[in-house]
Amino acid sequence: MDPVANAKLPMRLTQDSLSELPETVKIPVYDRSKLTPGIIHIGLGNFHRAHQAWYLHQLMQRGQANDWAIIGAGVRSYDADMRERLLAQDCLTTLIELDPKGMSAKVIGPMIDYLPIEEDNAALIEAMADPAIRIVSLTVTEGGYYLDANTGAFNADHADIRHDAENPNWPRTAFGALVAALKQRRQNGLKPFTALSCDNLQGNGAILKTCIVGLAHLSDPELADWIDQNGAFPNSMVDCIVPATTEQVISQCRELGIDDRAPVSHENFRQWVIEDDFCAGRPPLEQVGATLTHDVHSYEAMKLRILNGGHQLLANVGEILNVPTIADCMQDPEIVAFFRKVQTEEILPHVEAVPGTTASEYLEMVERRFANTAIRDTTRRVAFDGSSRHPGFLLPSLRDALASGSSLTGLALAEAFWCRMCAGVREDGSEIAPNDPHWANLQKTALASRGEPRLWIEQSQFFGDSGRDPRFVNVFTAWLSAIWQRGCRVAMADYLALEAKPF
């Protein structure tokens, strides 16, 4: 008898099938039929389900927060596929925790609906205007906030923003929908909801407020003042490594006995630091491990510069050298040595300690997490949208180095690796497929920079005044020329041989 033919098939994930899942899979113990909404989340991808939704699930498992269930939402056409997948399984999600010691799974259920994806966002606006909704949270990526990458100012001239300002009742952006819903709430005599950014931006709450109030001011200055005076936009820092869902993840889920169309894998670590500034109440997230504080800035700076900046140090050169994953990069002696030298000599000196953790201790933790071989986090995923991630994660350290006269040699090399990656071909001759919303322009400039390196850092929308500083110009020019002439590994070896000193 064939044991494979008689093996039990994975159970299709639905509310009705929860009790039939394998005993090794943890499932909701709360009655999902009694959950009522309190949160709308825009941009409902893997990270939200592995992070914010997990915290709500933990509260619900304790019999709390039953009136804080999540309604999913999206404003882009590609969100429709995720909506279809999740509605087909009653908005349940399988979370697969990838620990080097073993794999485990749980099903979470704090999400109870997913709004239709509409060009005018009418259903989203109506849902956010409902008095039951007290928090609207967002993960729309670092580049989705319509800000000038150099100055951080609100870009009122963007075509999408101009459309929403001229057509406030039929907005195409998430921010336009938020403004329209807040307008309805004001007209109906309701308080605003708290708008909570969960994107990797320092001061993300302040940035979100700038976008919302700035957009509202273009069409209704009185509404803008009302939002400014009565709304809440807490800053937050979120952290959990969540790879993209691949066929391998879906297969892992099936091996665990669950047929889930949209499972999520994640590392065995989470952190959420939130400014305790809510205008319409909040769930008691501190009871399940979140940190509520009035000072998020130092946590943000530590995480964005060391972890997110570190990701870029690894991913760009990893892509050029065709190293598939971040864990593989951490096993490469030259790449990991480059990573550690830049971190310890050029990033950590500009990072303050937070309660309970120094910058050096945090780096040690990040290294352990990056080296987790159970996480198949690809260099391609991590390198995506460098046009937002370099200005947000690495260039602040570069600016501090320029201001203080300290070493910037490794940071300049990292920027040269980004340029070389954007040329679109690896050192082995294979193609690097487009991997940035601005890929065409980046590739054109990267190729032109092979003969004239300064062209890359003269992109003021990314580098600002730093791209004209002679100290940065000289060392960047030398590194990019060296990379093209002798290759990335020789450039890394040259850098590793240098003694730490101000440049």
pLDDT at 6 over 50: no
Tokens of 285: 């997230």
Note the pLDDT of residue 127: 98
Asked whether residue 359 is assigned to any structural domain, the reply reads yes
Measured CA to CA in angstroms, residue 499 lies from 118, 414, 426, 495 at distances of 57, 17, 29, 9
Asked whether residue 1 is assigned to any structural domain, the reply reads no
Note the pLDDT of residue 65: 98
Q: Among 250, 275, 293, which residue terminates a domain?
A: 293
257 lies in the same domain as 345: no
Q: Which domain holds residue 148?
A: 11-293
Measured CA to CA, the distance from residue 371 to residue 267 in angstroms comes to 11
Domain count, the chain: 2
59 lies in the same domain as 185: yes
Asked whether residue 2 is assigned to any structural domain, the reply reads no
116 lies in the same domain as 259: yes
pLDDT at 499 over 70: yes
Note the pLDDT of residue 150: 63
Asked whether residue 166 is assigned to any structural domain, the reply reads yes
Asked whether residue 6 is assigned to any structural domain, the reply reads no
279 lies in the same domain as 307: no
Note the pLDDT of residue 214: 95
201 lies in the same domain as 323: no
Q: What is the CATH number of the domain that holds 263?
A: 3.40.50.720
Note the pLDDT of residue 99: 85
Would you call 238 helix, strand, or coil by DSSP?
strand
Confidence of residue 492 (pLDDT cuts 50, 70, 90): very high
Reference 475, options 309, 346, 359; nearest CA is 346
Measured CA to CA, the distance from residue 165 to residue 351 in angstroms comes to 39
Would you call 391 helix, strand, or coil by DSSP?
helix
Reference 295, options 307, 277, 308; nearest CA is 277
| 387 phi/psi in degrees, rounded to 5 | -65, -20
pLDDT at 319 over 90: yes
Measured CA to CA in angstroms, residue 484 lies from 11, 230, 265, 285 at distances of 52, 54, 37, 50
Asked whether residue 224 is assigned to any structural domain, the reply reads yes
161 lies in the same domain as 218: yes
Asked whether residue 501 is assigned to any structural domain, the reply reads no
Quickly count: other Cβ atoms within 10 Å of residue 36's Cβ. Answer: 10
203 lies in the same domain as 91: yes
Q: Among 293, 323, 338, which residue terminates a domain?
A: 293
Confidence of residue 70 (pLDDT cuts 50, 70, 90): very high
- H/E stretch holding 430 reads none
139 lies in the same domain as 178: yes
What are the pLDDT digits (tens) for 14-67?
999 999 999 999 999 999 999 999 999 999 999 999 999 999 999 999 999 999
Tokens of 153: 């100012």
Q: What is the CATH number of the domain that holds 454?
A: 1.10.1040.10
Residue type, 124: L
Note the pLDDT of residue 147: 81
Greatest Cα-to-Cα distance within the chain, rounded to the nearest angstrom: 76
183 lies in the same domain as 301: no
Model pTM above 0.85: yes
288 lies in the same domain as 303: no
Confidence of residue 142 (pLDDT cuts 50, 70, 90): confident
Note the pLDDT of residue 7: 46
Burial class of residue 125, CB neighbours in 10 A (0-12, 13-18, 19+): buried
Mean pLDDT of the chain: 94
* Residues forming beta bridges with residue 40, ordered by sequence position: 71, 136
Note the pLDDT of residue 2: 42
Can you tell me the mean pLDDT for 101-115? 95
Note the pLDDT of residue 3: 36
Quickly count: other Cβ atoms within 10 Å of residue 142's Cβ. Answer: 21
What are the pLDDT digits (tens) for 385-400?
999 999 999 999 999 9
303 lies in the same domain as 263: no
DSSP state of 143: G
What are the pLDDT digits (tens) for 143-183?
788 887 667 788 889 999 999 999 999 999 999 999 999 99
What are the pLDDT digits (tens) for 249-304?
999 999 999 999 999 999 999 999 999 999 999 999 999 999 999 989 999 999 99
Note the pLDDT of residue 501: 58
Note the pLDDT of residue 149: 62
418 lies in the same domain as 310: yes
Can you tell me the mean pLDDT for 66-89? 95
Q: Among 260, 293, 326, which residue terminates a domain?
A: 293
Can you tell me the mean pLDDT for 185-203? 96
Can you tell me the mean pLDDT for 56-80? 96
Q: What percent of the chain has pLDDT over 90?
A: 90
Asked whether residue 452 is assigned to any structural domain, the reply reads yes
Tokens of 340: 């550690």
Q: For the chain, what is the total number of helices (H) and then of strands (E)? A: 23, 13
| Residues 154 and 142: beta-carbon distance below 8 Å | no
Long-range Cβ contact pairs of 362-366 (< 8 A, separation 24 or more): 362/302, 362/303, 362/306, 362/307, 363/306, 363/310, 366/306, 366/307, 366/310
